[in-house]
Amino acid sequence: MTLVERAIEKLRRGTEQQRPKTEAAPVGSLVVEAPAVATSVAPATPARRIAVDRDALRNAGYLPETTVDREFASHYRKIKRPLISAALNSSSLEAGSPRLIMMASALPGDGKTFTSINLALSMARERDVSVVLADADVPKPHVSRIFGVEGERGLLEALADPAVDVESLVLPTDVGGLSILPAGIPQEGATELIASSRMAAVVARLLSSNPRRIVLFDSPPLLASSESRALAGAVGHVILVVRSGKTPRRAVEDALEQIVEGKTVSLILNQGRSGASEGYYGEYGNYGDGASK
């Protein structure tokens, strides 16, 4: 039995846990700061950053309870280590770089955005890594809403207008090493924008701005939108988040079929409790070697 078959079998046997409410209030707010130094020539552009309320983030269900913080952090270290190693060993600045990671799910409610946020926070703790959490779920921009930047210019504007520098739309947070790229203002033809050649230029700009940067794209569910299938063509690594006891086996198989050939794909079994020591994640497995799904 292959690794993915074992993981899918766990899905069938697994039990459900309560997931965070999707309509919780934002836990971040956009802060505009006055320039530190004024000039007599022209006023400097005010700095913009996102203030993250960690307590609100936890209360809304996007961080684990304090009683399992240590165990939870340990699980994410295991998840992030091979991702960071692959990313920082690559010098590619093009679409398909291992530094471009897509967080995907088969269906809504599998815990994809929850996993995206916690993985981004865990990676940001690394001394030599900078993380941009990019909201590519343009139909339902959960990351933008959670961090209080829904409706801000973001990924869609950078894709629609070559004159827009995507780097100017990346918003730092008060969490060291973590920045947010909002989804942007909704518009027609989002799928075509993501699938266009402009996407390659946008990701190249994001990567070239910082050689130690990793970009995590929170995407729509693969079986619920065309945008996610278009995005999969631009990244180097796809992580499929599957909810234990909830995501149907057929949905997992169908989602894998949506991912283009040649992509490295990993599986996170979310909320698996098959063993007391496994905590929130029952299994993490990389069953793609770059040559197959």
- For the chain, 293 residues long, the average pLDDT of each consecutive 10-residue run is 52 44 60 49 64 89 82 90 93 93 95 94 94 96 94 96 97 95 94 96 96 96 93 95 90 92 88 42 36 33
Domain edges within the chain = 3-16+47-286
Amino acid letter, residue 99: R
Residue 10 confidence (pLDDT): 55
> Given this model, what pLDDT does residue 190 score?
94
The per-residue pLDDT for 38 is 41
Within the chain, how many helices (H) and strands (E) appear?
10, 10
pLDDT tens, residue by residue, 99-143: 999 999 999 999 999 999 999 999 999 998 999 999 999 999 999
User: What is the structure's pLDDT at 234?
Assistant: 94
pLDDT for 147: 94
3-state secondary structure of 180: strand
> What pLDDT score does 46 carry?
57
Query: Residue 270: its pLDDT value, please?
Result: 80
DSSP class of 173? B
Instruction: Provide the whole-model pTM.
Output: 0.82
pLDDT of residue 248: 93
Q: Tell the CATH superfamily of the 3-16+47-286 domain.
A: P-loop containing nucleotide triphosphate hydrolases (3.40.50.300)
pLDDT tens digit sequence for 175-204: 999 999 999 999 889 999 999 999 999 999
Cβ 17 vs Cβ 52: under 8 Å: no
Neighbours of 144 (CB within 10 A): 25
DSSP code per residue over 71-134: HHHHHHHHHHHHHHHHHHT----STT-TTEEEEEESSTTSSHHHHHHHHHHHHHTSTT-EEEEE
Q: Residue 89, Cβ neighbours under 10 Å: how many? A: 9
